[in-house]
Structure 1
Amino acid sequence: MVQKLLLTSIIIMAAVYIFFIPPEPVGFKIFMKLIPMALIILLARTTRPLFSRTYKKIIIMGLFVCMIADGVIYWFLAGLVTFFIGHIFYILAFRHMQRKPMPIWAAILLLLYGAGMAFWIAGSQFASGQIVLGIAIVAYIGIILTMGWMAIRTRMTLAIVGALLFMFSDSILAIDRFVYAIPYRDVLVMASYYAAQIFIAASIGSRVVKYSVNRNNLIR
């Protein structure tokens, strides 16, 4: 019951922020932006881990860092660095839960995505003489690619969906900021971002299947 109430509250407050909060004043906009993330952290805290308490603790730390990043993203490089740290926590959490090797097809797709984004987004900054920003973008692409990679290795559906939504959100934001304007950018970015964090938080309650010595016997 508590989980359903929290999820409903997150969706409502996210919709209020996305569709009804004006750009000014900035302080109020930031405050309203943080409310859904605070509720997502509460959702994570009230989710019973079915496999690992360590995973839960690391995910909550990642969510908290991302919430801070939401507040400082208006200073772009500060936000980029803070989100970078948040992804490190997610990588550590997913690494703790990883169970399977990376499928070849998924590895190829992720590497193609990373190379394409680096060439397109970071390349445009290098071409315009923004060397530091270009390097920062390459580093960020590397960290979010690693986060997606580790999520896939967990074979946890909720974690994988969350990671891919996070990558989608950041891709839309980067393209809009550095290449060309995307219609309904704010809706696309924030809706996919909040959804990503919800899925990652909910992955705390994922059921993980481990194999015993006899692979015909499943231990849940």
Structure 2
Amino acid sequence: MIRYIGLTAPHLLLLAAPLAASSPLKSVGLLVATKCLPIAVLAQETYAKNKTLAVGLGLSMVGDLFLGLGHEHYFMHGLVSFLAAHVAYIKGAQEYKPPLAPWTLAGIGATAAAIFGGVILPDVPGDLKVPVVVYLSALVGMAWRFGARYQQTRALVGNKERSMVPKSVLVQHEKAKWGAAGSILFLVSDGLLAYNKFVAPIPGDNLLIMVTYYGAQIAIAKSA
């Protein structure tokens, strides 16, 4: 875990450093490289455990590349990349055969609809509303499946003494906790990003968004 945090440090330090915008230390190339490196390492190390989640991490890295270029006409490229990543995450979580968990879907969906639909969506430009809603649906679906996996393992553990629970079940429960936490952090990160882009600037936006984003990706990788 400490190693993963260390991998994110160069990019986070570049975002936090009080350097002039023209400084070579804040070049687009360096920012993009340091941004993508931690996700590339996570994808490579996750591949042997869950190939589908690793593909999702790889697609996220492609999305990071597009969004890191900083040009408005790459926003849709990044959105599509992350949409594909969430589809991969859904499939990756589904490989553990979690239950349907309709109430989990209802809770996550209602919360996302209230926050995104009520606060952010009204300020999204007309031509982006449908893509943003489609993306949000995939994001909710991802959180639903990881949440359902957590419920599944929590039911197996129950209120038993840890010594009475098979080690394999405890391991899966810990991994499911990471997946659920990662999905929640992804909702938070993307909510901050969307609010900052479409509604109003958030102080320290880039650093806050990236801290929650890296936390989400690390947690999802640890769920494999």
Give the TM-score of the pair, scaled to structure 2.
0.75
Greater length-normalized contact order (CA 8 Å, ≥ 6 residues apart): 1
Asked if structure 2 preserves the Cα contact closer than 8 Å seen for 1:65 and 1:86, the reply is: yes
Q: Does 1:145 align with 2:144?
A: no
Residues in 2 aligned to 1:115 and 1:198: alpha-carbon distance in whole angstroms: 26
Matched residue, 1:118: 117
Residues in 2 aligned to 1:181 and 1:192: alpha-carbon distance in whole angstroms: 17
Residues in 1 aligned to 2:39 and 2:204: alpha-carbon distance in whole angstroms: 21
More helix by share: 2
Displacement after TM superposition at 1:98 (Å): 3.3
Asked if structure 2 preserves the Cα contact closer than 8 Å seen for 1:14 and 1:191, the reply is: no
Q: Does 1:71 align with 2:65?
A: yes
Asked if structure 2 preserves the Cα contact closer than 8 Å seen for 1:122 and 1:135, the reply is: no
Displacement after TM superposition at 1:5 (Å): 6.9
Displacement after TM superposition at 1:164 (Å): 0.7
Q: Does 1:136 align with 2:131?
A: yes
Q: Which amino acid aligns with 2:37?
A: I
Residues in 1 aligned to 2:111 and 2:55: alpha-carbon distance in whole angstroms: 27
Displacement after TM superposition at 1:14 (Å): 4.6
Which of 160, 171, 191 pairs up with 1:171? 191
Q: Which amino acid aligns with 1:61?
A: V
Which of 24, 27, 30 pairs up with 2:29? 27
Give the TM-score of the pair, scaled to structure 1.
0.77
User: Identity of paired residues, percent?
Assistant: 25
Matched residue, 1:86: 85
Residue segments in structure 1 that go unaligned for 5+ positions in a row: 50-55, 205-220
Matched residue, 1:160: 180
Query: Residue 6 of structure 2: SS of its match in structure 1?
Result: helix
Structure 1 residues 91 and 21: CA distance shift in structure 2, 3 A: farther
Displacement after TM superposition at 1:196 (Å): 0.6
The aligned runs of 1:37-76 (5 Å cut-off) are 37-45=39-47, 49=49, 56-73=50-67, 74=70, 75-76=74-75
Q: How many residues align?
A: 188
